[in-house]
Amino acid sequence: MLFFVTGLTCQECADKLELHIQKQPGVNGAALMVNGRFIIDCDEDKAEAIANEVMVSAPKAQGDVKVKRIS
């Protein structure tokens, strides 16, 4: 899955978000790039639950964060 995250300016917050998603059941790997791309490799049967977790968790990571699912 691919997301685009904007408004995340705190590196510690970005690291916490990335780690949180990596710990989700079904996630094989997750990388939040400095350009805002959030790439997640996950089991197909868990994809929607993980996508929902990203959409909920990212704005909690830091104030005015916005997330858009690309694929």
What radius of gyration do the chain's Cα atoms show? 11
Q: Average of pLDDT values for 24-49?
A: 96
List of residues 6+ apart from 32 with CB closer than 8 A: 5, 8, 14, 17, 18, 38
Q: Among 21, 9, 64, which Cα is nearest to 30's?
A: 21
Q: Which pTM was predicted?
A: 0.91
Q: What is the pLDDT of residues 40-61, one digit of tens each?
A: 999 999 999 999 999 999 998 8
